[in-house]
Amino acid sequence: MLILLALQPVCLLYTRAVMESAAAETARLMTTTTAEDDDLKEFTRRRLAAVPNVSIFHAGGPLSWDIELGRAGAGGVSSVSVSGEVKPLPVIGAFAQAMGGTAEGGYVELKVDVSYQSRPEW
């Protein structure tokens, strides 16, 4: 029981770290390229392939990631948002449902937002 309680947070932290890294790399790339949004989303998905396709890491497969891009405008800030769903283990899932932190089907959403300023303030 104790191992199960320790396993889920480790899986969530790993998934979140990969998501944040992929979003940051994409935001930096957006400031230096004129690539299409579809190409940038594919770039992000390739980085997200480091997350195992197991429901305690990420549920739904490689095409189920929700990736939103915000191009650098006059302010010079590019933003990338990546979200996905995780199926919690039964022990933690019971706590998540009791706290109201689950969507339908018992999934928990993980979301990462990264902004990158392409122009220095000076």
Write down the pLDDT at residue 88.
78
Q: Give yes or no for a contact between 87 and 106, defined as CB atoms under 8 angstroms apart.
A: yes
Average pLDDT over residues 59-74: 84
- Determine how β-strand 108-117 pairs with β-strand 77-86: antiparallel
Kindly report the length of the chain.
122
Contact by Cβ (8 Å): 81, 110: no
Query: Does residue 66 have a pLDDT over 80?
Result: yes
Predicted confidence (pLDDT) at residue 57 exceeds the cutoff of 80 = yes
35 φ/ψ angles, rounded to the nearest 5 degrees: -65, 155
Q: Which residue has the higher pLDDT, 81 or 9?
A: 81
What does pLDDT average to over the chain?
A: 81
> Which residues on adjacent β-strands are paired with residue 116?
78
CA 110/CA 66 separation, integer angstroms = 10
| CA–CA distance, 9 with 12 (Å, rounded to integer) | 5
Phi, psi of 25 (to 5 degrees): -65, -40
User: What pLDDT is recorded for position 91?
Assistant: 59
Q: Which residues pair with 66 in a beta bridge?
A: 83
Q: Over 70: is that where the pLDDT of 77 sits?
A: yes
Higher pLDDT, 98 or 121: 121
Residue-level pLDDT at 120: 66
81 pLDDT more than 70: yes
Residue 109: its pLDDT value, please? 83
Predicted model pTM: 0.81
Model confidence at 100, pLDDT cuts 50, 70, 90, reads very low
- Residue 2 exposed, middle or buried by CB count within 10 Å (0-12, 13-18, 19+): exposed
